[in-house]
Amino acid sequence: MFRFAIFISTHEMIELWNKEHDEIKLGLNQFADLTKEEFKKSYLGYKKTATTKPKQVSFNKSVAVNTTLDWRTKNAVSSIKN
């Protein structure tokens, strides 16, 4: 019943938002039965693990760069996920 109450509250919030906004529509997802605190604790925040300094990287600025490169055609990026 606790999870269902959170889900109902989330659903009501989404319905209210969608009635008041035309430019962006919200929808239910796998997180709809989590409280904001539960979601934040589980899915947000950076946890630094390394204590070493980052490596210095330098770039050759004289090399021509293709500004219209589509990384999707190179299979360098994956499809959109949750």
Which tens digits make up the pLDDT trace of 9-29? 999 999 999 999 999 999 999
In a domain, 79, yes or no: no
What pTM, to 2 d.p., does this model score?
A: 0.56
Helix %, strand %, coil % for the chain, to 5?
Answer: 40, 0, 60
In a domain, 42, yes or no: yes
What CATH number corresponds to the domain at position 40? 1.10.287.2250
Which residues neighbour 23 within 8 Å (Cβ) at sequence distance 6 or greater? none
In a domain, 1, yes or no: yes
In a domain, 56, yes or no: no
- List the domain range (segments joined by +) for residue 38: 1-49
> How does pLDDT run across 21-72, given as a tens digit for each residue?
999 999 999 999 999 999 999 999 877 776 777 788 887 778 787 778 888 8
In a domain, 72, yes or no: no
pLDDT bucket at 78, cuts 50 / 70 / 90: confident
In a domain, 38, yes or no: yes
| Domain tally, the chain | 1
In a domain, 30, yes or no: yes
